[in-house]
């Protein structure tokens, strides 16, 4: 007998991104094609190959935390808490009435507290060798601490952990939460991810891999997915929160519903530590898996928010996979890479991009792939990459792809909610 899964819906969201520090500001930035890239201000990048990034703008931790608390939180954890606070408020849950044992937190981060790690090691190396470390060094740095802080803040005692799958981390968190709810292990999850790796070690490390764009003369147009002159990704930072809830639980409390989550897929390239499979095999497999999990056919999808990092190899392999999975239906899709605007927020990418999909389904508009100037003959010109301007269309369902170093692939599908 086939197992009957419970339905899972989205009842709240929160975002802090390089193009908007709230859900609505982020969505407005996406639809208007705003670039979040500019010269780095978080440290002196004058000697680095890449001197720009997509930083969160106008962020003051003291607007969200008291001074003492802020000192105990790495920037990545701060972003996670800020996004979660907005998402929890947005979902309208009554914290006095909810069963805290049935609410969990699953949060993704690819790296965690990189700034904290860098600062503490630098302080030690510059000292006299005496091991003087901040007592908050470890609890500030570890990648799971954001989920811990969120659960402590609200008293949520359900499943609580962090997913680390490089740039697929937040999507993996969302899929885990989706599965726990539909299997009746919980009623509600705060899911998402956050990252803050615009530090010397982050930029320098990715520069050493030749992964970042070096278009220092024109940062705003440096993230160019599917453009002939793309030369690497642009580092971003921020966080995204998605409140997932069992449908009957949401209905009973009269919650607003943005969309329904209907499928999740996970696969591995099993190919290379950083390069994608040249034929997009892992991406192909994960998209087939997510369609099967959602019991949907390729022609049921209207929009794919692609991983689309603006790297020479990645963009090509993902497009090959889409053509393999969707066939002729690929030409009916809207495809876009919102990383052209936000940059690559690493472990948080899946959350902020799933939010873009959810809002696209809700509002029937597809955000663009900006910064397209020169067609690349490697891409089929009949594919609609939603270049440079948002496009209105009915979006019945949207698929979000995220792929990470190590060959980690994760895809999720959201669709219009119908009671």
Choosing from 344, 357, 372, 408, the catalytic residue is 344
In this structure, how many other beta carbons lie within 10 angstroms of the beta carbon of residue 62? Answer: 9
CB atoms within 10 A of CB 295: 9
Distance from C-alpha of 154 to C-alpha of 108, rounded to nearest angstrom: 18
Residue in 307, 357, 372, 408 annotated catalytic: 307
Q: Choosing from 54, 91, 167, 241, which is the catalytic residue?
A: 167
Task: Give the Cα separation of 141 and 76 in Å (integer).
Answer: 9
Helix (H) or strand (E) holding 239: strand 238-246
Nearest to 107 by CA among 142, 136, 64, 145: 145
Exposed e or buried b per residue across 72-97, where buried means at least 16 C-beta atoms within 10 angstroms of its C-beta:
ebbbbbbbbbbbbbbbbebbebeeee
Sequence-ordered list of residues with C-beta below 8 angstroms from that of 283, at least 6 positions apart, any chain: 276, 277, 307, 317, 318, 321, 322, 401, 403, 409
54 in catalytic set: no
Radius of gyration of the chain (CA): 20
> Do 40 and 57 touch, CB atoms closer than 8 A?
no
The residues that are catalytic are 167, 307, 344
């Amino acid at each position: 007998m086939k197992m009957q899964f419970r339905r899972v819906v989205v009842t709240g969201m929160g975002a802090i991104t390089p193009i908007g520090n709230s859900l609505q500001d982020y969505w407005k930035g996406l639809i208007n094609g705003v670039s979040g890239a500019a010269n780095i201000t978080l440290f002196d990048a004058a000697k680095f190959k890449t001197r720009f990034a997509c930083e969160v703008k106008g962020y003051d931790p003291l607007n969200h935390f008291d001074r003492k608390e802020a000192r105990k939180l790495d920037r990545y954890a701060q972003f996670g808490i800020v996004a979660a606070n907005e998402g929890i408020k947005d979902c309208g849950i009554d914290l006095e009435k909810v069963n805290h044992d049935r609410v969990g937190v699953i949060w993704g981060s690819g790296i965690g507290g990189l700034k904290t790690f860098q600062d503490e090691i630098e302080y030690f190396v510059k000292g006299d060798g005496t091991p003087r470390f901040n007592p908050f060094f470890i609890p500030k740095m570890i990648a799971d601490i954001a989920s811990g802080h969120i659960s402590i803040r609200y008293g949520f005692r359900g499943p609580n952990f962090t997913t680390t799958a490089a740039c697929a981390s937040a999507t993996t968190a969302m899929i885990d939460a989706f599965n726990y709810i539909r299997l009746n292990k919980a009623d509600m999850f705060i899911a998402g991810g956050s990252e803050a790796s615009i530090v010397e070690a982050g930029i320098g490390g990715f520069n050493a891999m030749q992964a970042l764009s070096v278009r220092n003369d024109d940062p705003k147009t440096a993230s160019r997915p599917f453009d002939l002159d793309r030369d690497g990704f642009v580092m971003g930072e921020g966080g995204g929160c998605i409140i997932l809830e069992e449908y009957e639980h949401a209905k009973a409390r009269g919650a607003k519903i943005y969309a329904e989550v209907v499928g999740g897929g996970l696969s591995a390239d099993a190919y290379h530590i950083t390069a994608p499979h040249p034929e997009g095999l892992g991406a192909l497999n994960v998209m087939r898996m997510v369609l099967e999990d959602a019991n949907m056919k390729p022609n049921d999808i209207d929009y794919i928010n692609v991983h689309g990092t603006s790297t020479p190899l990645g963009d090509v392999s993902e497009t090959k996979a889409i053509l393999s999975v969707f066939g002729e239906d690929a030409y009916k899709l809207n495809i876009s890479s919102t990383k052209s605007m936000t940059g690559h927020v690493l472990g948080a990418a899946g959350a902020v991009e799933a939010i873009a999909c959810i809002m696209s389904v809700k509002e029937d508009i597809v955000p663009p792939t900006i910064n397209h100037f020169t067609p690349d003959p490697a891409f089929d010109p009949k594919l609609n990459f939603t270049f440079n301007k948002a496009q209105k269309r009915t979006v019945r369902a949207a698929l979000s792809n995220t792929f990470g170093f190590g060959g980690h692939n994760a895809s999720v599908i959201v669709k219009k909610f119908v009671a």
